[in-house]
Amino acid sequence: MPDRRFRQVQYEQEKREREARKHQHATKLKEIKIRLNIDPHDYETKVNHMRDFLGDGMKVKVTMMLRGRENAHPDTATR
């Protein structure tokens, strides 16, 4: 009889753990890549996507992409 009680307690504990795992949400990271010379409409679209991701509880990583001669003057990207 004690063995049966132990199995019952063990089963209930595993059941609680399974139920807790159902409600977990993995943190997701979204990356948005922006070029230096971007059209204002494209910029607004990317900003709206960022707001949606943040509203859904995700993290957002913004990457500034430089190409060609833009790499020679990275200080212009910080402005």
- Distance between CA atoms of residues 45 and 40, nearest Å: 9
pTM over 0.85: no
For residue 29, the tally of other CB atoms under 10 A from its CB is 9
Give pLDDT tens digits along the chain (79 positions). Answer: 677 888 888 999 999 988 888 777 667 889 999 888 888 999 999 999 999 999 988 899 998 888 877 777 777 766 5
For residue 66, the tally of other CB atoms under 10 A from its CB is 14
